[in-house]
Amino acid sequence: MPAPATLPAPSKHTHDKSLLGLELLRFACAISVLLWHYNHFYVVGAAHQGFSVTAQPLYGLLKPFYEAGWLGVQVFWALSGFIFFWKYAQPVQRGEVSAWRFAVLRFSRLYPLHIATLLAVAAMAWWYRQQQGADYVYQFNDWAHFALQLLLASDWPGRSEWSFNGPIWSVSIEVLVYGLFFALCRLGLTRWWQVLGLIGLAGAVYASKRTEHPIVLCVFFFYLGALTHLAHEAVQRLGLGLQRALTVGAVALLAAGTAVTALGLLRPMFYTALLAPLAMLLLLRWVRPASPSVSGFIATLGNTTYASYLLHFPLQLLVANLSGGQPERLPLASPAWLLGYLGLTFGLAVLTYRGLEVPAQAWLRARLLRAPARPFLLRG
């Protein structure tokens, strides 16, 4: 069946089958980050103890995630760029979404869970310090960094001084790009060649190594996602035969890129820049379940991603406290432990999404925007 001619209207906030492929990709990115951080279980203070990458459970099967799972963050950024261009670019350009409304939408989506996990980690970090005389994994747990965390600005200085619930660093950088996105949209810079120019500029800065500030990569991948959205819209206007030909070409390019990367001839970061747009385009075309129950399940998986991203380190810190800071007491090489960790994280993420994220977002939006709350989609 050919894809619809156009994407749903930007004002639509219900789950749409045409976007469920992105939900699956978000979930895969969350799994990637959780597996990359599995090594935290082996940490005592700031150092690994008795740790071997190859000894992690199911290493032969999960090697790419254990060794390069951090790249899931870059794909998250690209997904955000796609969704923001789909949902906000034209309304912001036309002045239909004010700066205040845009800021409230972002604040209500991100901040409630952030502040909850920040306070939980701060308490458990104190507990761990009392036992071990040192901090766990992230070492900059002082008042200055706590203040930055309160402002959702932990990595704005660009010094990689990770603190408290460390994974929030990528969200803090993305917040800066949200501001850039709004300003550029208001200026009318939403055409494909302007987006391509931003990608090229960020790529040149990254390649020249003039700065190591993570905002450079965030801009690159965010606008790569934006360009993917524009490409997706263009593909929808083509005939079915040409769409199928492009799909075959995308699969072939992705397979070639995967093979070249596996041979060590392409850096993982460059592979991610290839993977993110191709995976989005292919999943958008392929994932169109007819069953409402399957659609609902995929949507639920997508809804767990933000919570799982912010909950997995607090859970690891809790385990470190309960084990007395002795990872050797834990069956860390067991696949059952790994599956339990993943299952518990995502199970809690579902409960957190329903019990904290949705109610808090509805409450904040109803009061700050004086508008009825509606379900949201893809970090909307």
pLDDT in tens, 135-192: 999 999 999 999 999 999 999 998 878 999 999 999 999 999 999 999 999 999 999 9
User: What is the per-residue pLDDT for 49?
Assistant: 82
User: What is the per-residue pLDDT for 377?
Assistant: 47
% of residues, the chain, pLDDT over 90: 88
Strands (E) in the chain, as ranges, are 43-44, 47-48
Would you say the pTM of this structure is higher than 0.95? no
Asked whether the predicted pLDDT for residue 12 surpasses 90, the reply is no
Whole-number Å distance between alpha carbons of 100 and 332: 47
User: What is the per-residue pLDDT for 47?
Assistant: 87
DSSP secondary structure letters along 59-122: HHHHHHHHHHGGGHHHHHHHHHHHHHIIIIIHHHHTT-S-HHHHHHHHHHHHHHHHHHHHHHHH
pLDDT in tens, 49-68: 888 999 999 999 999 999 99
Residue 372: φ, ψ to 5°: -65, 140
User: What is the per-residue pLDDT for 375?
Assistant: 46
User: What is the per-residue pLDDT for 64?
Assistant: 94
Q: Do 5 and 39 form a contact (C-beta atoms < 8 A)?
A: no
Whole-number Å distance between alpha carbons of 84 and 97: 12
Kindly state the average pLDDT of the residues 124-138.
Answer: 95
